[in-house]
Chains A and B, each alone.
Chain A
Amino acid sequence: MTSKKVDAKDLPMQTNKVNVKDFLINNGIIVVLIMLAIFTAIKQPSFGSFDNLKNIALNVAPRFIIACGVSGCLITRGTDLSAGRMVGLSACIAGTLLQKPGYSGKFFPNLPDFGIWWVFAVLLICIAVCAIFGLINGMVVSFLQVPAFIGTLGMQLIVYGVCLVYTNATPIGGYRPAYTEVAKGRLFGVIPYLFLIALAIGLVIWFVYNKTPHGKYMYAIGGNEQAAEVSGVNTKKTKIIIYVTAAALYALGGFLVGAKSGGSSVNMGMGWELEAIAACTIGGVSVNGGIGKVSGVLIGVLVFEILKTCLQYLGVDTNYQYIAQGIVIVVAIALDIRKYIAKK
């Protein structure tokens, strides 16, 4: 009874005047990181160079696609810890199927030399394989009601194991130019394909989140799963679709990352799920569910990537970089939780 009263009192305060404290709680991490970026650009002018910014943008593209996948899980109060390993598996599958005909260390020496369409076929194979794992994730979470944290943690290990068995832990390289071209090529020689693919995915996900019943149901489940169910939402189906879609996006992300780096190994994608979760949270996707925008996810990924680049440019030891990233993740989530504590 009392909490209702307080809510009503809080509301005009939030809308009428811009409260500095509220603003900092809501956007603190972003403010700090923009300041860090400015500082870095002053210290190391090359940070602001076109080349570096382009590099950041290209790094952001696959990470954004992966974070889009994770965002659906987070919005429904779940999570997906198997994301990074699925990225790795997808990169490895793509790598083994798309090696140069003459390459000596070919994974499948007898694989015939298919035409250019084979690149797309392999992408579909990667998506199909990951989607199966995503389907299992979704069913474990919705039918068996295993907490997503545990269910996808198990899947993380399973996918890693599958990847090890499949590649026998050997690194894969010697890709066909048609494959690497996906990451390196540019439309009209100007706009990188990678950038266009990420843009297209962003638009599709935005559409799904805002214009389809599935998207509306997703937010409703995150807000109050029981109420959504009483309103006739098929919560199980919705969640399964979310985990399958997420896995498909990881597959695409892995496919692109493989093309971009020109080689892959079982360690590819390790820890990327945490980066994606952190990016989503920085971008305003609430770990309490029900809240999150695609634009926020993009900002979160950008900010996180800028943080990493800043640390490199400032000459921070790689080992220390992990510590800094870890702190940012914890602070971001602590601030996120603050938003809801403050409302009580």
Chain B
Amino acid sequence: MAEEYRLEMIGVSKSFPGVKALDKINLKVRPGTVHALMGENGAGKSTLMKCLFGIYKMDEGNVLIDGKDVSIANPDEALGKGLAMVHQELQPVPARSIAENMYLGRYPLIKIGPLKIVDHKTMNQEAEKWLKDVKMSFNPRAKLGTLSIGQMQSVEIAKAVSQNARLVILDEPTSSLTDNEVEALFRIIRELKSRGVSMIYISHKMAEIRQIADDITIMRDGTYVGSWKVKDISDDEIVKQMVGRELSNVYPPKEDYRTDETVLKVSHVSSIHARSFRDCSFELKKGEILGFGGLVGAQRTELMEAIFGMRHIASGEIEILGKKVTIKRPQDAINDSVGMITEDRRGTGIIGCLSIADNTAIASYRNYTKAGTINSKKVGQVVKDSIAKLSIKTPNDRTLIQSLSGGNQQKVIIARWLANNPDILIMDEPTRGIDVGAKYEIYQIMIDLVKQGKSIIMISSEMPELIGMSNRIIVMCNGHITGELEDDEATQEKIMAFATKFDLNDKVTENFTQEVKS
């Protein structure tokens, strides 16, 4: 009997300090099929794939390829066993040719005495052959950078095939592709399928799964939910399986401090980039916590960063407190009484080599400066008050911020904005990477702020957090605002339905959304 499965992962578990990231996951991929792997953000899909490729060492579990037990220590070994991955974020060298990218690190060589030189002729011929094999007719000598993202992805797939991969993992391959490119990608996938290559297809897009996948495995919070044949499971069943978890009570009691006053009005705002946010309109009321939900890549961060002046807007209007404003850089937004806690704490939040005090005061110096001189006493007092208010655990405020834990660093960033005291505070994933205790404290601070008449926009990819904290939830998908839910009507299923509402003209998703709504 021919082996039943190309790849079997059985009972895979992986723990990180304090978190069980994977708990006895099973994944079985049949030869010549496309196997969809689905789950929310943070369900553990990427971790599972990293375990497969030996980037993480799994704590327990077995991996079988073609029925044989294997152990894989690093991505190189995985490749040797016929596994290849096309990454979500491609990592090509755009300034070099297509062929050079395909053969990076394994150039065919000619030996001339002690010298080894790259055999460009063979390399280009081979590359052309493999590209033709997946029905692509690029000149292998062309610079990779001249291709579109979709075409680069095809090159990556050709590269995988050229390495004799029998199992290719596609991690959200269509997240930055146009419809035509998706079609082209699917053609390649079908071609590979017909030749017996198996694929694991990670995606959130229901319609695509229907179109291309044979089997589906669903994960939730690091646990294995189940596997089905795609034709045996309905779309809303998939959504239910993905989010079906209990809401645990880790949020402060919710109160509604909303007033009728609109503090922020965003009208038809679009990005300068075609594939980013489009035509987004919403209002924020005084005293409101407005949640923004959606999947990774829904462009929520991009929209908020644009409102804060970190990105450019091509069209649309922003009104703050009834006044039309032009925000070209963060400084302008701050002058209009907007503050922002960014998603990337290390990249755009903390200033590592400076003290807690300096990190707290950096956004407020101009408020405490007279005749060009900082009033150190006042600044010191404001810093002290903020640190006390947020119960930041630190020996003193001269401590460098980089020596604090993630939760305390985040509190310092919040302290920075408490010191600046804006009317509107945008918080992008405010509790990411923070332990439960600190999370609760941050929620409490948010509620204190709205009680004082401030308004908060909170982006969160954790649905329980969205539901637990927001007075109102706006859901985005693929750059559009696809839905809005009042506090009392918000459920994980409804948010997920809006978050996966990809193509507004697509019948499948439209019907499915209505079904869930009713």
Contacts and interface: CB of A to CB of B under 8 A. Distances in A.
Interface of A: 1, 4, 7-8, 11, 211-213, 216-217, 219-220, 222-224, 226-234, 286, 288-291
B105 interface: no
A308 to B, nearest CB: 31
11 contacts: A1-B433, A8-B405, A211-B373, A220-B351, A224-B347, A224-B351, A226-B348, A227-B349, A227-B351, A234-B331, A290-B351
Interface string B333-355: 11100001010000111111110
B88 to A, nearest CB: 20
Contact of B352 (A211, A216, A223, A234): A223
Contact of A230 (B342, B373, B406): B342
Given A8-B405, A216-B365, A233-B331, A228 B372 contact: no
Interface stretch (B35-43, B182-190, B269-277, B356-364): B356-364
Contact of A219 (B358, B373, B376, B420): B358
A217 to B, nearest CB: 8
B365 A213 contact: yes
B348 A227 contact: yes
A237 to B, nearest CB: 10
Interface string B295-321: 000000000000010100000000000
Given A4-B405, A232-B363, 12 more contacts: A1-B16, A211-B373, A212-B374, A213-B365, A219-B358, A222-B353, A227-B349, A228-B351, A229-B330, A230-B349, A234-B329, A290-B354
A232 B405 contact: no
A211 B340 contact: no
Q: Is the interface of A mostly helix, strand, loop or mixed?
A: helix
A211 B362 contact: no
A217 B374 CA distance: 12
B416 interface: yes
Contacts of A219: 351, 353-354, 358
B96 interface: no
Given A219-B354, A291-B353, A231 B363 contact: yes
Most B CB within 10 A of own CB, among A217, A224, A230, A288: A230
Contacts of B353: 219, 222-223, 286, 288-291
B369 interface: yes
B348 A7 contact: no
Contacts of A212: 369, 372-374
A93 to B, nearest CB: 30
A291 B351 CA distance: 11
Contacts of B420: 232
A7 B403 contact: yes
Contacts of B363: 231-232
A4 B331 contact: no
Residue among A211, A286, A291 facing the most chain B CB atoms (10 A cut-off): A211
Given A212-B373, A216-B374, A227 B403 contact: no
A179 B473 CA distance: 73
B421 interface: no
B416 to A, nearest CB: 7
Contact of B354 (A211, A223, A233, A286): A223
Contacts of A286: 353
Contacts of B366: 213, 232
A228 B362 contact: yes
